[in-house]
Structure formats: structure tokens, C-alpha cells
Amino acid sequence: MSQSLLMPKATAVWLVDNTALSFEQIAAFCTLHPLEVQGIADGDVAGGIMGVNPVQNGQLSREEIEKAEADPNYRMKLSEPKVRVAVAKRKGPRYTPISRRNERPNAIKWLVRNHPELKDAQIMRLVGTTKSTIDSVRDNTHWNSANLTPMDPVTLGLCSQIDLDLEVKRASKDAPAPAEFNEGTTLLTAEEALARAGGRSHADTEAGFEPEGTGRPHAADDEPDAESVFASLKSLKPDHADE
């Protein structure tokens, strides 16, 4: 987090009254316009503001002031803070501006459709909603379900792309890994697959046997001769054909 000067106008008042710095140097340090600093020196600007000593509050060192007074082109730098204050982590649902709260069901519908791996708690953190609202959107029981349109929550300004990517990454880590093949599992060959589909074993296929009722001649049987064929046809003729 970048450091900024506390009470810049009050600091400029003190620097004008207690140092020999130029207006440009004071303006650069206090992030003010040089004409505004000149107005402070003339008493036209910040007439009722009491000066604040930046050396006393630890934002500027006496060495920096002396160096700037010796060189008009030198620009003073803020002193590093001696104590770092940790940024408080946000707890609870994200705050959503009133102007965008009506868009939350659309964002929920987009998240449920495009990222079904997200848990309800993650959607609540991203959009700042409640579990009952998520359930109603998912089950199409929301009071405005007919008019809901899936919309990216990042585009709506409800969350940042970094937050969304982080939650999706977390959800993908928690998802169960796909089942893997056992080490001893082998794939069947095309011949074995066809043999199993026809009810035959691999050994029967190699031996030339066929299952009964398939209508296909056995490979081990001999080819029928012509006499046996004619004899079979003759036996099929009706008796009155001989009369």
C-alpha cells in the first residue's frame, strides 16, 4: 500500500512558516499547486488552518529539509514509517452498492451456469448474497426468475477478476480427481471384443467354434456335397406332386 502525506495543506502551512523551501518544493511534497502554496504564503489560502510539523509526526526528516534548502531542484521524499499496520481482512459477505444489488441474481445465475464447481459460500463471498437467494436462483424459484439474465459479476462490478479466479482455483482443487485405470487393466483387442459381443470366448474363437443358433456353418464341419442337397430338397416336396 502506497504511503501518503497526512494533512497536506496543514503541512504546507508549517513548511512555509518554518523553512526556506521554495514554493515548488513544498507543492511537490504536499501534492499541491505552486500557486496554492503561494496563496498560503500570502495569507489568501488556508487562513484558519494550523500548521502541522511533518518532522514531529515522522513523515519527514530534518536532513531532507536541509538537503532541499541547499538545492532548489531537490524534491523531498516521505520517510518510511517505523511501524507497519497490517491491513484488516474482510469478514463476512462482500458489501454491494445499493445501485448494483438488483444485479446480484443475474450474477448468481452466471456463476451457477459457468462455474458449477463453486460452493455456495464462495458465491456468497464473491457477490455478497445469501444462501437462500442462491438456492432460489439455482432452482428457478426466484420471484424474478423469468427475467433473470446470466451476467458476469466482474462486468457488473460485484467482484474483481482476481477474486473470481482465486475462488475458481480453490474450487478446482477441492474437486475429486478423475478415476484412473488400474495398473493391471488392459484393453481388449478388436477380435476379443467381437467375440464377447457374440457370446464366444477367445479360446472358442481360435478353435473355430460358433455358438448354436447363429445360422453360420461351423468351421470344423465339412462342406455339404450336391447329393445331400438334392436329397434334402426332394424330401421337402409334397406327396401329391408324385401323382
In this structure, how many other beta carbons lie within 10 angstroms of the beta carbon of residue 81? 10
What sign for the dihedral angle of Cα 105, 111, 114, 115?
negative
Answer yes or no: is pLDDT of 228 > 50: yes
Calpha distance 206→44 (Å, rounded): 109
| Average pLDDT for the chain | 76
CA distances from 56 to 67, 80, 153, 200 (A): 18, 14, 46, 96
Tens digits of residue pLDDT in 60-108: 999 999 999 999 999 999 888 765 655 555 555 555 565 566 788 999 9
Which grid coordinates are listed for 52? 502541522
Answer yes or no: is pLDDT of 134 > 70: yes
Looking at residue 64, its pLDDT comes to 92
Looking at residue 193, its pLDDT comes to 60
Higher pLDDT, 113 or 223: 113
Q: Where are the domains of the chain?
A: 8-70, 98-174
Calpha distance 35→4 (Å, rounded): 21
Tens digits of residue pLDDT in 12-44: 999 999 999 999 999 999 988 999 899 888 888
pLDDT band for position 219 (50/70/90)? very low
Residue among 17, 19, 46, 52 at smallest CA distance from 33: 46
Residue among 17, 22, 23 at smallest CA distance from 54: 17
Calpha distance 1→160 (Å, rounded): 18
Higher pLDDT, 207 or 134: 134
Looking at residue 155, its pLDDT comes to 82
Average pLDDT over residues 120-141: 90
Looking at residue 188, its pLDDT comes to 59
CA distances from 224 to 211, 217, 229 (A): 20, 10, 7
pTM check: above 0.75: no
Calpha distance 65→77 (Å, rounded): 10
Answer yes or no: is pLDDT of 212 > 90: no
Tens digits of residue pLDDT in 149-188: 998 888 888 888 888 888 888 888 876 655 544 444 555 5
Answer yes or no: is pLDDT of 218 > 80: no
